[in-house]
Structure 1
Amino acid sequence: MSSSRFVLFLLLSLAPFSFSHQKAQIQETFHECLSNIQTPNTFFTPNDTNFTQILKSRAINLKFRTPSTPKPDAIFTPLNETHIQTAVICAKKLGIHLRTRSGGHDYEGLSYTSVMGRPFVVIDLSKMQDVNVDLADNSVWAETGATIDRLVQIMNTGFPELGLKKEDCFEMSWIESVMHIMEYPKIVPPSVLLERKPSFLNYFKAKSDFVREVIPESGLEGMWKIMLEYGSPLMIWNPYGGIMSKIPESSIPFPHRNGVLFKVQYVSAWMDPAMEDKHVSEIRKVYDYMTTYVTKSPREAYVNYRDLDIGMNGKSDDSWGFKYFKDNFHTLRKIKTKFDYSNFFSHEQSIPLID
């Protein structure tokens, strides 16, 4: 018996050491593999004083900024496409799991955290910010790390103001509308966007739906009643149609096309972490109420409003994929199986391989 207790004590004693050793090994081997493209201030580990600041800089949901949230073992900030390619090759070679982050907009934080229990590193694309304006064909090519703060620098050189002209709306430039959506007071100049900081941070949960049939008056009355009862959930309706309806569903992965009247985003936000269960429960009840009035078979969802409630790899069937992509999900699985047969690029809602 004493021998068994000794072995158990030894294993428990070694566990933290083994884990920290594994993290250190990942950091060392990945950094060494990247050495031929290394430039100053592009590779960060938890031992670096600014690691936490960089990690939080694009983590917009406070739910995933807590001390208990799983953190990456390293962050790499590439400066060009070659850096990205090298990082992917190194991670593949070394068996290191990757998360890729641009704006950190992922509502479930999958671009900078994980619930899969695997060590991982983050490729943060925030330094890839080039924006190229082509006045000849009225187009703009923006690198994936470019955000509004970068675009504001070229607005006066290439684009006219976009204004709202209805009498019940006030006219504003496009950049002013961005400021309005971000809830900045009118007296704050657009240059504040150059600080690359969100106007506010909170804890939140979001869900989505698509509507193809007019919601009857009785349905709207029931919706008002349940939302007024809870007070917290917010609904945002984005109208669809126009050119979006003219593009075939199978032309690109995004399938929510002809016949969609509008998209619904449900958002519940809070500042006290102790209130999470209450707010998440309320938004799910609003979502459940809307079941009658939204798309069915599948109940469509918008992939950019990531929602793990609808399912995830390893913990449910694959029906969540049809909610995001409809029949395009079949094609995406074929492509995934052909080009990433080892499932290297994976996360909680990554496209699964064909069995």
Structure 2
Amino acid sequence: MAVTNFELLLLLGTLSISGFSATSYSTEVSFLQCFSSNLQHPNEASNVLLTTNSSNYSSVLQSSIRNHRFLNNSTLKPQFIITPSHVSHIQAAIRCSKQNGLQVRVRSAGHDYEGLSYVADVPFLIIDLFNLRSIRVDIENESAWVESGATLGELYHKIAEKSKLYGFPAGSCSTVGVGGHFSGGGFGTIFRKYGLAADNIIDAKIVDVNGKILTRKSMGEDLFWAIRGGGGASFGVIFSWKVKIVPVPQTVTVFNVRYTLEQGASKLLQKWQNVAHELDEDIFLHAVLEVADSTTSSAGSNKTVLVSFGSLYLGGVEKLVSLLQESFPQLGLMRENCTEMTWIQSVLYFAGFSTKDSLNVLLDRSTQYKGFLKAKSDYLTKPVSETGLEGLYRILLEEEAPVLILTPYGGRMSEISDSEIAFPHRKGNIYAIQYLTNWDEEDETEKHISSMRRLYKYMKPYVSKAPRAAYLNYRDLDLGRNNNAGNSSYAQAYVWGLKYFKNNFKRLVRVKTAVDPDNFFRNEQSIPVFP
């Protein structure tokens, strides 16, 4: 159905030719005509398509920009933002982007650390999935269909509405979108018991490069393998996931105990490195390193390193204390350090809310920190030596800003093959590190990024090798990037691809070549195609 001149004018709004080249203006008009013509009801276009002159363009664009490094006037803005409320809107956006030479970036909640879901250096549009957020929980069959625009908080909330005895193994941050989180792997406080979010996906719906809607059956097992841990943005637009929800006990237990270097934190961390991955799979015990004020540190310094040991146990406090007194007595855990609660209350706890808050805080998409940040990641297969830790503390005290979050592996993660899904970081890893630094002023950006890179360089001798592995969901463009033209070679992408995907990278390239041979779905770290 052809779009009428009147409908086209409505879409163009107050678009002026001044400031646009004849080519870019022609592309805008052509895309708008195409988009409306590809909808069953062309008048829907004005409800789901925003141009740079739409009154709510800026507010929608900025609503999910979590990293203010990419919120400035020098960053190229998308020519259009598509906010689909039906899968047909995604199909139209893909067809018309191909026809008009526009790249597509897909955003579910904007937590991509390098902004690749909403930033590009070439003409592009954003398909923002925030209107596709329905969740249908089926307790009887222990499953749920979750649309990609939903957040983790919304998923946890919906499960708790149905039953307090079920949960899902995913991350702690309530405003993270399920789309990127699931497709990159997704771990949280119960992944040592149940594996990753991606391990618990049993079906998915994707719009491919030809605009076709595929399910697990029609996409085939190779593509279904790839989108679980390989990143969905390389293969199409995944708009819905079927997941397996998991049982949780009526009572779980949490604690968070803190020690400074002067209080013996280093000895405890050395012990933690040896035991955390060997603990019962019902115990999640991570360690967080940060710089803190001190009144007892060495002369001339008012700073120290604080190590926080935080835990979730799927059971009651008496059993947890007994287990840790046996396997990690040096921690000195006492019953009074612990708090019993329901699993959904533990979701509030690890998301930074009060356990007394209403569960409705999990539905608030505006609660997440919005500032400048940079992150990196590592995997470790053996403990860092005492000398190595001492050097790490010196680096942290010199730089002050970076925080290290150490997440233990083991449990269920050691039982799953590295090639079961595209996520490869399984056996042999004792823990992972997320390095994270954030700041408030743009003019501090270079200082903080340089600080992060010095810390990362220092850790090289102590982490995994050949490759030095990294986690896709902690996106890091320092590892390497593709050409914007989309003609990156396999060898060029292998530099960063091996770090994220290890031996699974070549299979991911084969899948990509089969389903998107012209490399339409691409970004700075998307899976390339074979020549």
What TM-score bracket applies, with the shorter chain setting the length?
0.7 to 0.9
- Offset at 1:343? 0.7
User: Which piece of structure 1 moves more, 273-282 or 85-94?
Assistant: 85-94
Q: Secondary structure at the match of 2:145?
A: strand
Structure 2 partner of 1:121: 125
Q: Secondary structure at the match of 2:348?
A: helix
Q: Is the 8 A contact 1:241 1:258 kept in 2?
A: yes
Cα distance in 1 for partners of 2:342, 2:63 equals 27
Pick aligned residue for 1:261 from 430, 445, 453? 430
Structure 1 partner of 2:162: 157
- Offset at 1:192? 2.9
- Offset at 1:186? 5.6
Pick aligned residue for 1:317 from 492, 498, 516? 492
Structure 1 partner of 2:360: 191
Pick aligned residue for 2:385 from 203, 216, 223? 216
- Offset at 1:149? 4.2
Pick aligned residue for 2:458 from 282, 289, 295? 289
Structure 2 partner of 1:41: 47
Structure 2 partner of 1:277: 446
Cα distance in 2 for partners of 1:169, 1:229 equals 34
- Offset at 1:126? 1.1
Q: Is the 8 A contact 1:27 1:45 kept in 2?
A: no
Say what the alpha-carbon RMSD is for the aligned residues.
2.4
Structure 2 partner of 1:59: 65
Structure 2 partner of 1:331: 507
**% same residue:** 40
User: Which piece of structure 1 moves more, 136-145 or 70-79?
Assistant: 136-145
- Offset at 1:37? 5.2
- Offset at 1:70? 1.6
Per the alignment, do residues 63 and 32 of structure 1 end up closer, same or farther by CA in structure 2, a change over 3 Å counting? same
Q: Which runs of 5+ in 2 are unaligned?
A: 1-17, 166-249, 254-316, 321-334
The within-5 A match list for 1:67-216 is 67-114=73-120, 117-151=121-155, 152-160=157-165, 163-164=252-253, 165=317, 166=320, 167=335, 168-184=337-353, 188-216=357-385
Cα distance in 2 for partners of 1:215, 1:172 equals 34
Per the alignment, do residues 119 and 252 of structure 1 end up closer, same or farther by CA in structure 2, a change over 3 Å counting? same
Q: Which amino acid aligns with 2:139?
A: L
Cα distance in 2 for partners of 1:295, 1:248 equals 18
Cα distance in 2 for partners of 1:199, 1:335 equals 35
Pick aligned residue for 2:474 from 305, 317, 325? 305
Q: Secondary structure at the match of 2:383?
A: coil
Cα distance in 1 for partners of 2:431, 2:23 equals 48
Structure 1 segments of 4+ aligned residues over 6 angstroms from their partners: none
Cα distance in 1 for partners of 2:461, 2:92 equals 49
Per the alignment, do residues 185 and 284 of structure 1 end up closer, same or farther by CA in structure 2, a change over 3 Å counting? same
Q: Secondary structure at the match of 1:36?
A: coil
Cα distance in 2 for partners of 1:19, 1:184 equals 50
Q: Secondary structure at the match of 1:111?
A: coil
- Offset at 1:95? 2.7
Aligned residues: 341
Q: Secondary structure at the match of 1:263?
A: strand
Per the alignment, do residues 215 and 301 of structure 1 end up closer, same or farther by CA in structure 2, a change over 3 Å counting? same
- Offset at 1:91? 2.2
Q: Secondary structure at the match of 1:324?
A: helix
Q: Which one has a larger percent strand, Structure 1 or Structure 2? A: 2
- Offset at 1:45? 1.4
Q: TM-score, normalised by structure 2?
A: 0.60
Q: Secondary structure at the match of 1:170?
A: strand
Structure 1 partner of 2:526: 350
1:97-148: CA deviations, max 9, x gaps? 100111212110000111xx31111111111112121212323332111113
Cα distance in 1 for partners of 2:343, 2:370 equals 23
- Offset at 1:15? 8.0
Q: Is the 8 A contact 1:206 1:265 kept in 2?
A: yes
Cα distance in 1 for partners of 2:526, 2:117 equals 11
Cα distance in 1 for partners of 2:163, 2:414 equals 29
Q: Which amino acid aligns with 2:72?
A: T
Q: Is the 8 A contact 1:99 1:110 kept in 2?
A: yes
Cα distance in 2 for partners of 1:180, 1:37 equals 45
Cα distance in 1 for partners of 2:75, 2:102 equals 19
Q: TM-score, normalised by structure 1?
A: 0.88
Q: Does 1:21 align with 2:21?
A: no
Structure 1 partner of 2:516: 340
Per the alignment, do residues 181 and 61 of structure 1 end up closer, same or farther by CA in structure 2, a change over 3 Å counting? farther
Cα distance in 2 for partners of 1:159, 1:138 equals 13
Per the alignment, do residues 189 and 242 of structure 1 end up closer, same or farther by CA in structure 2, a change over 3 Å counting? same
Q: Secondary structure at the match of 2:144?
A: strand
Cα distance in 2 for partners of 1:219, 1:294 equals 11
User: Which piece of structure 1 moves more, 221-230 or 18-27?
Assistant: 18-27
User: Which piece of structure 1 moves more, 128-137 or 14-23?
Assistant: 14-23
1:153-186: CA deviations, max 9, x gaps? 4413223366224443333444444433443456
Structure 1 partner of 2:402: 233
User: Which piece of structure 1 moves more, 283-292 or 26-35?
Assistant: 26-35
